[in-house]
Chains A and B, each alone.
Chain A
Amino acid sequence: MIMESKYLVETRNLVKRFGDVIALRNVNFKIGYNEVVGLVGDNGAGKSTLVKTITGTYAPDSGEIYIKGMKFKRLTPQKARELGIEIVHQERTIAESQPIWRNVFMGREITGPLGFLRIEEMKKATMRLIKEMGFKSEVIYPEKLARTLSGGYKQGVQIARALYFKADLIILDEPTIQLSLSEVSRVLDFVKDLKNRGKSCIFISHNIYHVYPVADRFVIMDRGRIVAEFRKRDLSIGDLSNILVTIARTGDIPAEYREINIVSRPLEEVS
């Protein structure tokens, strides 16, 4: 069932508490179709909690989640996946001593009668993904062990996994952490490629130099709240850095940027 909706994912007044700590305070987050959102903010701002709620790892205490127009009080990871939301976790979900093809299908193996694996089918599908992702297929092949891949390619395998399972929204939680320069640029290429395929992406990072080149819009969180949203065309990377520093210090954005802050305005009004 596909209902017409302006947003791929929207949250309304989402609240999440962990005991006394309020991790999300009335969060109204939205992401459209074929859009890359950079989700930025300091440690403990609630970025990870927000995406874990959208992907069903956490149940919100109150508020609603709309996915493709369908309303949910809470989701399960399985349900979120069925709806086309995949997350590439900060913790690498890669089994190092297993080949790439087994990693792509981890937990969702293609099986025939009695649960036996369709190995050839999975290897072929993996080969296809490797080509589609623009991996150099002479060095990266389905039987290659995951531990022999560099960090950027490991992220790539996890993105390939999400693509295979027909995700519409791919959430990348700190995908560039601990990567070398050349590998960061590879991961950023993967993200640009996702956009070209018509997918949406939430890119979480501390590093604005990684987020800035790929995002269409920036959502800035602070202490469980979305404090500001900006379109990329309104900001330079220097502005973004300036805003983040000020928010960290004062909890509010600098006065000169208030005009272009589009937080709590509907997307179609500002795009």
Chain B
Amino acid sequence: MASSVRDILSKVWHRYRIQTAVFLLFISLWFIFFALNPFAFTRAYTYTSLMSTMPFTIVPALSLTYVVICAEIDLSFPSVMALASWMLAVTWKDMGPTPLGVLLALAAGAVAGLFNGLLVTKARIPSIIATLGTLFFWRGVVMVCSQGYGIALFEYKDTPIYNLFVGRVAGLVPAQMIWTAALAVILWVFLNLHKFGAHIYFTGDNRVAARMMGINTDKVLICVFIIHGLISAFAGILATLEVATFWPSLGEAYLMKSIAAVVVGGTSIFGGTGTIFGTFFGGLILGFIELGLLAAGVAGFWIRLVYGVVITVTLIVQAIIREAEIKREMKEILSEELKEAPRGP
């Protein structure tokens, strides 16, 4: 019995080293913070607070994982979040809390994503530059349209549509966390069990080969950017409703955090590998650090420093794991070859 459990664990470790490492990091952080402040970490509201703010980092990071697996990057999503937020706020101010506002916000995200996709595939601009351009462009659009003013949406608090997105389920679990978990599951399913996900991996791993095998990699990339635009817009809606305010710099805080969640989660910036599971826990780790340090009474100034340390150490550990894996594989290939090499006289 014990040995079969060990077998399963060793199998999991062999196949999912990086994800296991990320998960273990998450668990050990929890233990550390628990030890530092047992009172806070035995109270439900601590977790409610964590779950109410984490989604704004994790949601865009989930779809960003698709983009990064394709060996591309999107820097423009914080501005897309703000664009969606503005769309929602203006519509609701004009027409009340209508689903149309949500649809318009999502549509704006999809259009922004399509635009990025076309820049990368048709205009052949490297995504890091193309989306740097659209990062400024959409932020500029939001600034000009809003004239730099925020829009308060307090009067719509506790309307059904508001509760659907950011209400508290059973008074404890923020609805946005359930949305986040649901999105993670959906994106995981499509990445791992659907043809589209297979094509995402091929596009990032070996684009030339994918094309020769008949995969329309441009179409895959455009779809991935549209999905990322849509989901970033969704994150923008969640962030707006949580504080019941549109503000013109919404999203700026999440750019680096979401990218960090993706890389801490073990997705390679070179494309071809990466998991939704890793990104989800990568995002949780970052949120946990912030909350845990505050709860432990550490001054807010330290948070970035600890972020920096955790991110760097995680990346070093991942590099070591990968290096060891490559060495082991090389050895395997060599020993196999030696076995079959023709013997000398």
A interface residues with partner B (beta carbon < 8 Å): 77-78, 89, 91-98, 102, 106-109, 111, 114-117, 119, 139, 145, 147-150, 180-183, 185-186
Contacts and interface: CB of A to CB of B under 8 A. Distances in A.
Given A94-B206, A96-B272, A98-B205, A116 B215 contact: no
Interface residues of B, number: 27
B342 interface: yes
A119 B198 CA distance: 11
Contact of A93 (B196, B206, B342): B206
Contacts of A107: 199, 202, 210, 213-215
A6 to B, nearest CB: 30
A78 B214 CA distance: 8
A149 B333 contact: yes
Contacts of A95: 201-202, 205-206, 209-210, 272
Contacts of B124: none
A156 B333 CA distance: 15
B340 interface: yes
Given A95-B202, A96-B206, A109 B195 contact: yes
24 contacts: A91-B212, A93-B213, A95-B206, A95-B209, A97-B205, A98-B202, A98-B272, A106-B215, A107-B202, A107-B214, A107-B215, A111-B195, A114-B194, A115-B195, A115-B196, A116-B193, A148-B333, A149-B333, A150-B333, A150-B336, A150-B337, A181-B342, A182-B340, A182-B341
A233 to B, nearest CB: 27
B329 interface: yes
Contacts of A149: 333
Contacts of B199: 107
B208 interface: yes
B336 A94 contact: no
Given A78-B214, A92-B209, A94-B209, A182 B342 contact: yes
A149 B214 CA distance: 23
B150 to A, nearest CB: 42
A106 B213 CA distance: 7
A93 B213 CA distance: 7
Interface string B268-285: 000011000000000000
Contacts of B155: none
Nearest to B208: A91
Contacts of A98: 201-202, 205, 272
Nearest to A109: B195
A108 B212 contact: no
Interface of B: 193-196, 198-199, 201-202, 205-206, 208-210, 212-215, 272-273, 329, 332-333, 336-337, 340-342
Contacts of B214: 77-78, 107-108
Nearest to A110: B195
Contacts of B342: 181-182, 185
A203 B273 CA distance: 34
A75 B329 CA distance: 41
A232 B194 CA distance: 48
A181 B214 CA distance: 32
A181 B333 contact: no
Contacts of B329: 145, 147-148
A181 B343 CA distance: 12
B11 to A, nearest CB: 11
A97 B194 CA distance: 18
A18 to B, nearest CB: 19
A114 B197 CA distance: 13
Nearest to A96: B205
Contact of B198 (A109, A145, A181): A109
What 9 pairs between A and B have smallest CB-CB spacing?
A: A107-B213, A95-B205, A93-B209, A107-B214, A148-B329, A106-B213, A107-B215, A97-B272, A115-B195
A147 B193 CA distance: 22
Contacts of A180: 337, 341
A93 B212 CA distance: 7
A117 B272 contact: no
Nearest to B189: A116
A125 to B, nearest CB: 15
Given A116-B193, A182-B341, A183-B337, A148 B202 contact: no
Contacts of A108: 213-214
Contacts of B336: 139, 150
A7 to B, nearest CB: 26
